[in-house]
Amino acid sequence: MSAKSAVSTAEAPSAIGPYSQAIAAGNLVFVSGQIPLKADGSSAPGGIAEQTEQCLKNLAAVLAAAGLSLADVVKTTVFMTDLSQFAAMNEVYARHFKAPFPARAAVQVAALPKGAGVEIEAVAVRP
């Protein structure tokens, strides 16, 4: 068995560069940053709340392809182009995760791919 294997699904947008949607390594699954693209590659409409919703939908789809769910996530990183919109992002985020919540970092960046306002990556652990 390989030390690592790619995880992919047609239920989330394809990678837009030389990376995998996720990599499984041992009991960990590392999900690449998900931006608010629909599975067909088109941009999700709306503001930061709708964009966050789409990011988490994509994240859940990639995790499902690995046999996991958002409940298995132990760490996320949220990248935003405008932290003044943090509260709106956080409200949506809080609806998708239950206690014990994953560890999280949130940082402001100058820009994200495809003009996205938010990108979320995650690490999950197999039970």
Q: Give the DSSP H/E element, type plus range, for residue 124.
A: strand 118-125
What is the pTM assigned to this prediction?
0.96
Q: Which of 65, 5, 1 is nearest to 34 (CA)?
A: 65
Q: Which domains, ranges and CATH numbers included, belong to the chain?
A: 5-125 (3.30.1330.40)
Is 32 within 8 Å of 15 (Cβ atoms)? yes
Give the tokens for residue 61. Answer: 């789809």
pLDDT in tens, 30-72: 999 999 999 999 999 999 999 999 999 999 999 999 999 999 9
Strand pairing partners for 121?
A: 77
Instruction: Inform me whether the pLDDT recorded for 1 exceeds 60.
Output: no
User: The tokens 């949506």 sit on which residue?
Assistant: 92
What integer pLDDT is reported at residue 8 of this predicted model? 96
> Model confidence at 2, in pLDDT bands (50, 70, 90)?
low
What integer pLDDT is reported at residue 16 of this predicted model? 87
Q: Which of 114, 46, 31 is nearest to 77 (CA)?
A: 31
Give the tokens for residue 95. Answer: 């609806």
64 burial type by CB count under 10 A (0-12 exposed, 13-18 middle, 19+ buried): middle
Strand pairing class (22-25; 28-34): antiparallel
81 torsion bin: left (phi>0), alpha (psi -120 to 50), beta (else): alpha
What integer pLDDT is reported at residue 52 of this predicted model? 98
Instruction: Inform me whether the pLDDT recorded for 112 exceeds 60.
Output: yes
pLDDT in tens, 66-110: 999 999 999 999 999 999 999 999 999 999 999 999 999 999 999
Looking at the chain, the whole-number percentage of residues with pLDDT higher than 90 is 96
